[in-house]
């Protein structure tokens, strides 16, 4: 069965016990493409680690979400690699 990026999706945060608040809360998306893009491009790395995406009965962890984002079938424009590298560097600096 082929994956449909048009299907509604839910993004669940990782349980972060060391912090008083999670990096993000549960979020529902009208389509999986928006959920995948949000997870990869907007979530801080520590929030994505341990989070999962549910689309119908299928669940995707961090690696699964990344593979959907990197797939040739991903229908949305991706953030440029330079912008993504800057975001990763900012997340590392924020964590330090």
pLDDT in tens, 35-58: 999 999 988 887 888 899 999 999
SS3 content of the chain, % helix, strand, coil (to 5): 40, 15, 45
pLDDT at position 96 is: 59
Print burial letters for 21-54: b (CB count within 10 Å at least 16), e (below 16). Answer: eebbeeeebebbbbbbbbbbeebeebbbeebbbb
**Model pTM score:** 0.75
Element (H, E) at 45: helix 45-48
The pLDDT assigned to 2 comes to 72
4: left (phi over 0), alpha (psi -120 to 50) or beta: beta
Residue 23's pLDDT is what? 58
Q: Decide: 63 and 39 in contact? Cβ < 8 Å.
A: no
pLDDT by residue for the chain (96 residues), tens digit each? 578 999 999 999 876 655 555 456 889 999 999 999 999 998 888 788 889 999 999 999 999 999 999 999 999 998 876 555 555 566 566 655
């Amino acid at each position: 069965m082929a994956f449909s990026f048009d299907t509604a999706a839910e993004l669940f945060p990782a349980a972060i016990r060391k912090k008083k608040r999670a990096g993000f809360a549960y979020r529902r998306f009208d389509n999986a493409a928006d959920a995948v893009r949000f997870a990869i491009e907007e979530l801080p790395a520590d929030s994505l680690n341990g989070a999962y995406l549910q689309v119908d009965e299928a669940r995707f962890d961090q690696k699964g979400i990344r593979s959907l984002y990197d797939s040739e079938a991903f229908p949305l424009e991706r953030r440029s690699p330079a912008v993504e590298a800057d975001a990763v560097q900012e997340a590392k600096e924020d964590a330090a």
